[in-house]
Amino acid sequence: MIKIGRFFFYDEYKGTRGYLKTQSRYELVRTFVYFAISASLFVAGIIATGNRMNLLTIVAVLGCLPACKSAIDAFMFLRYKGCTAENADRIDAHMEGVQGLYDRIFTSYEINYQVAHMAIRGNTLCGFTQDAAFQEQKFYTHITDLLKKDGFKDTSVKIFNDLDKYTARLEQMKALPAEEKLTAGIMNTLNSVSL
């Protein structure tokens, strides 16, 4: 855990529990720092030369480009909420022997899909969403197309809105063949195509 001022940054990686919350904090702090650097360069240029027509003003304006990109990233992460602690605790109780990813946001041209948790074992992929308006059929088409592009054909995909049904499916997945190499490949693809 890293502490900067009042902010705590846990060593969370993409797909781990609490990732969205941690990443949104990180993006906010990074955005603030980037804008502070640009502002300080602008002020330093005015103090040094007495007017705003100087090279430091140009550097400060150019410094706003990464700051604005960081602000957009922060906005994207702040829009979404991760898996609730209560749901995550219930899911964790059923995950032994099954690989999983938390807090996945899949973006497409039409819609963004928020999946609170995904479980992968072999070529079987199941997910749980807390989004009542989740469009499962469009997600199925989107994710299978992405997996096929990476060479993963015949992947079974099912997203649940009911946590009890999802945890029951997690128990059933334990009986499936592990196929660790296939599971790891699908997990890498899912991480690379999600926020």
Neighbours of 99 (CB within 10 A): 18
Per-residue model confidence (pLDDT) at position 178 = 78
Q: Does residue 71 come out as left (phi exceeding 0), alpha (psi in the -120 to 50 range) or beta?
A: alpha
Task: Quote the mean pLDDT of the chain.
Answer: 86
- Whole-structure pTM value: 0.75
User: Would you call 126 helix, strand, or coil by DSSP?
Assistant: strand
User: pLDDT, tens digit, for every residue of 28-68?
Assistant: 999 999 999 999 999 999 999 988 898 999 999 999 999 99
* C-beta of residue 87 within 8 angstroms of C-beta of residue 170: no
Per-residue model confidence (pLDDT) at position 12 = 54
Alpha-carbon distance of 109 to 138, in angstroms, equals 12
Q: Which residue stretches of 4-112 are H helix?
A: 19-49, 55-78, 85-92
Q: What is the DSSP string of 128-149?
A: E---TT--HHHHHHHHHHHHHH
- Counting residues of the chain whose pLDDT is more than 70, the rounded percentage is 94
Alpha-carbon distance of 56 to 43, in angstroms, equals 9
User: pLDDT, tens digit, for every residue of 150-173?
Assistant: 888 888 889 999 999 999 998 888
Longest dimension (CA), the chain: 74
